[in-house]
Amino acid sequence: MWLCTLLPVLFGCPSGSAPSHPTAWLLPRQRPHFDRPGDIMVGGSFSVFRFSNSTLSDFTAPPAELLASGVSQWGYRVAQSFVFAIEEINRSAHLLPNLTLGFSIRNSGDSVHGAVHETMSLLTGQEEPIPNYTCQHRSPLAALVGDTRSSLSVSMARLLGLYRFPQVSYSSSLPSLSDKIQFPSFLRTLTSDLRSSLAVTQLIIHFRWSWVIILAHDDDFGQQASSLANQELSPAGVCIEYTLHVPSHESLGKIEEIAQKMQKYTARVVLVFLSNSNFQLILYGLLDTTVSGQVWVSKGTLHMALALAIPGISQVLHSTFGLLYHSSSAIGFPEFLGHLRPSQAPGDVFIKKFWESTFDCTWPHQSSPVIEGVQLCSGNESLKNKLYPFQEVSKIDAAYTAVYSIAHALQDMIDCEHQDGKGRDSQAFQHWQLLHALRKVHFKTPDGSEIMFDANGDLVTKFAIFQGQKTPEGVFHLAHVGMINPQVSSGNKMMVHLKEDLQVPTSVCSESCLPGFSQVPRLGAPQCCFDCSLCPEGQFADKKDMKRCLPCPEEQYSSHSRDHCLPRTELFLAFEEPLGFLLASVALFLAGLAALVLGVFLKHRDTPVVRANNRTLSYVLLTSLSLCALCALLFLGRPSVTTCLLRQTTFAVVFTVAISCVLAKTLTVVLAFRATKPGGRIQVCLSPGAPTSMVLVASSMQVVLCGLWLATSPPFPERDMVSEPQHTVIRCQEGSGTVFLCVLGYLGLLAGGTFSVAFLARGLPDVFNETKFLTFSMLLFCSVWTTFLPLYHSARGKATVAVEIFSILASTAGLLGGIFIPKCYIILLKPERNTPAWLRQNLQAQQDRQSEILQTRCLPRSIPHNFVM
């Protein structure tokens, strides 16, 4: 049923009821044409009367009579724009002032047969044309304007190209017509379909539509246009969800199948490369489906105009976009049509049938009686009230620019002859001369439009963008919303200019990834279908829909939202911050405490407690512990070359001295109890200089290792960008890791040996419990540094420095407190125990208690007299 409502639009019938007169009539054997004489003639081929299929010749016999099936409202108006342009040129005092242009308008009948016949008739000047024979009894024919459909123009162009006869089409947009090898004399006042298809792809790219459907004919143009769209859209990140090929013949079954398929697709934008009729059939097929809110984009605006005329189409169309090539407008042409009357155009053989079709009336005939109820044509009707639908895009003045192009080419050719001094007859020219001038023509029409042709004979033009918009009253209308200029391009993209307040919907497979996220392609899906993933630490994405995150510069880090980078701040354990101040205070306190203990020992140097177990080693040990506490200060503050060189080496040497002193003390106790023979080897080891030598030898080995370290690959300041994402950690790089491990390994070996010896000697009798205190202090020392290793490797940034300082101070405090605090307690708080009398009394009592225990052991029965030195 809906096809019936479509027929008036497709075949040019006026809206409303069908005409009461017959829609087909016989034309005389002599084909009708509208001629007007002039000095130079311009031919025009227009589809005014359409021939029915039954009248098309099979070329086996000449047709007897022609059956016209209808009047093209648009075709006749275009023919009148041809007449209007010639009359305007003839009135001009500047363009061809000494010549009068005449014309001969022929009806091609919208058929290849009719177009070729009329072309031959124009070339030969005969009603029954004979090829390669021209009647000379007429004014010269300059060029031919026409035709409408590309299939007609192709047949005409092949014939005219043989004679290099200029042909200017006003409506044929087939891309192959740009081929100057096949069609050397063809020009057109519009662009090719491929050029407009390229422009419409730029519109899709500009609107950032990345998920589209293509509807294309299954003919050569549809294949070329869809292929071109893919080539242009794919590099721009636009994905084609599906390409649907519609049969060129109007197959209702196939179109219904396509309408069903479109319900399954998710893309909201449909790119159309279809004929007007098939486009309307697709829309009608979608009216009863669940498809809604689609945006239709076409290379032409007539699609839109026809679509908007369909009742109830708003449920299918959310919006439409179409392009209209920008050409000149015939100023005054609507008024010219408004004053058109059959009585004022006696030579116009087409006007009466056009009048009947337009005003739904019949001309009275003298031989025919008047039929009741049939409206008669008076000839005084006005076309002012019969405007062609969608005036802004219908281009009913399409032939206007073509006529002006020919006139300016004639003018340029005449001017060139005069400049050369030849001054020959203006009517004596060759067609190839006019064709040469026509290709190079460059002028402005009365409305100010600039007209010129490119190397392919296509009009160099811009594209106006029209959008089908819905008014508050619910009526769709076409609104001019922008312009595409192919001549002004950025890279390979045409410049698109749109109104600022234009609102367009979106069509994407996946929602855009916000800044801070990157696209992660979905497995097996097109590139437009993706998931969004937050950028990892140290990377950022400052734009939407970034394919991958970018790394921040070395001196910067990514923000929490990962959409920009922030400058890093330098990080080191400074004296001024609370932790640094606390550690520095503890270091100074321990150093001061060690110095205080040393002062106490020096003051009471002749007492038994101080003299016990080599007081010289005690002095060296206290001095080294004080330096151990102070070396922690080297780890505080901004690392420099000097502090990096001194930091680990000072720590290693002074701690080696301290551990060596503890080892010497421990061995002294053990050897003192094993020295049973006077003058033996063990007795020699208990000489006053032996412990000092042991300390010097053990420390010298560490000094050699540190010297080798500094000589080969010394520590140096380093900017660490990895440990703390938001900070640049200023730290000391240890240089040679192997030598550094050797230094620490030697210190650890020394500490482990000292602890082992002290642990074995913990049960030896001792008045002042020296071995127990040495064992306890070494237990603290080893526990601290054993705990230090995992903490040091798991800590980051300045925490590593803090862990090392804490370990230094804790082990220093352990040695200082474990060995010397008990002695200071006796010296300062129990002075009665620090006398020779108490010592002798305590030794005698201890000997009595141990006598029975020592009988079964190979140990001396009395405490060595040389233990107190």
Q: How many angstroms separate the CA atoms of 1 and 738, rounded?
A: 93
CA atoms of 624 and 446, how far apart (whole Å): 105
Structure tokens at 197: 């298809």
Q: What angle do CA 308, 311, 312 make, to 5 degrees?
A: 95
Q: Residue 399 class from Cβ within 10 Å (0-12 exposed, 13-18 middle, 19+ buried)?
A: buried
Burial of 183 (0-12, 13-18, 19+ CB in 10 A): buried
Nearest CA to 530 out of 113, 210, 256 is that of 210
Q: Give the pLDDT confidence score for residue 653 in this predicted structure.
A: 93
Q: Tell me how far apart the alpha carbons of residues 843 and 305 are, in angstroms, rounded to a whole number.
A: 123
Q: Which two tokens stand for residue 46?
A: 């227009």
The answer to whether the peptide bond before residue 147 is cis (omega within 30 degrees of 0) is yes
Q: Are 243 and 234 in contact (CB under 8 A)?
A: no
H helices of 420-529, in order, are 431-439
| pLDDT of amino acid 197 | 86
CA dihedral 25, 29, 31, 34 (to 10 degrees): -80
Burial of 859 (0-12, 13-18, 19+ CB in 10 A): middle
8 A C-beta contact, residue 463 and residue 326: yes
Using 70 as the pLDDT threshold, list the residues of the chain that sit under it: 1-30, 51-69, 135-137, 248-251, 292, 301-309, 314-315, 318, 366-373, 388-394, 420-425, 474-475, 488-492, 613, 671-689, 761-769, 838-869
Burial degree of 759 (CB within 10 A; 0-12, 13-18, 19+): middle
Torsion of CA 772, 778, 781, 782, to 10 degrees: -120
What was the pLDDT predicted at 628? Answer: 92
CB 276 within 8 A of CB 248: no
Q: What is the pLDDT of residue 726?
A: 84
Give the H/E segment covering residue 763: none
- pLDDT at residue 71, as a whole number: 85
The phi and psi torsions of 508 (rounded to 5 degrees) equal: -135, 150
Terminal-residue alpha carbon distance, the chain? 128
Indicate the pTM of the whole model: 0.63
pLDDT at 492: 62
Residue 341 identity (one-letter amino acid): R
pLDDT for the residue 727: 85
Q: Which amino acid is at 329?
A: S
Q: Which candidate, 200, 196, 194, 224, places its Cα nearest to that of 212?
A: 200
Adjacent-strand bridge partners of 325: 463
- List, as one string, the DSSP characters of 428-439: ---HHHHHHHHH
DSSP 3-state of 74: helix
Identify the pLDDT of residue 11: 34
Q: Please, where are the H alpha helices in 142-275?
A: 150-162, 193-206, 220-233, 252-262
Under 8 Å between Cβ of 612 and 868: yes
Q: How many residues does the chain have?
A: 869
| Residue 432 near residue 161 (C-beta atoms within 8 A) | no
Query: In the numeric block, which tokens belong to residue 629?
Result: 């506490």
Rounded to an integer, what distance in angstroms lies between the CA atom of residue 6 and that of residue 29? 32
Q: Where are the beta strands (DSSP E) in 72-128?
A: 101-107
Alpha carbon 842 to chain centroid distance? 91
By C-alpha distance, which of 786, 813, 808 is closest to 632? 808
Query: Residue 665 — φ and ψ, nearest 5°?
Result: -65, -45
Contacts 24+ apart (CB under 8 A), 372-378: 373/20, 374/20, 374/21, 375/20, 377/352
Structure tokens given for 620 = 């060296």
Q: What is the pLDDT of residue 263?
A: 82
The three state secondary structure string of 355-402 is HHHHHCCECCCCCCCCCCCCCECCCCCCHHHCCCCCHHHHCCCHHHHH
Residue 232 has φ and ψ, to the nearest 5°, of: -85, -35
Please tell me the predicted confidence (pLDDT) of residue 6. 36
DSSP 440: T
Judge whether 721 and 568 are in contact, CB under 8 Å: yes
- Compute the distance between CA of residue 72 and CA of residue 111 in angstroms, rounded to an integer: 13
What interhelical angle do 798-829 and 615-631 show, nearest 10?
A: 150
SS3 content of the chain, % helix, strand, coil (to 5): 45, 15, 35
Contact (CB, 8 A) for 108 and 66: no
Burial degree of 237 (CB within 10 A; 0-12, 13-18, 19+): middle
Helix axes 798-829, 578-603, angle to 10 degrees: 30
Dist. CA 391–CA 678, nearest whole Å:
132
Per-residue pLDDT reduced to its tens digit, 236-266: 889 999 898 888 666 677 878 888 888 888 8
Question: What residues form DSSP beta bridges with 70?
Answer: 50
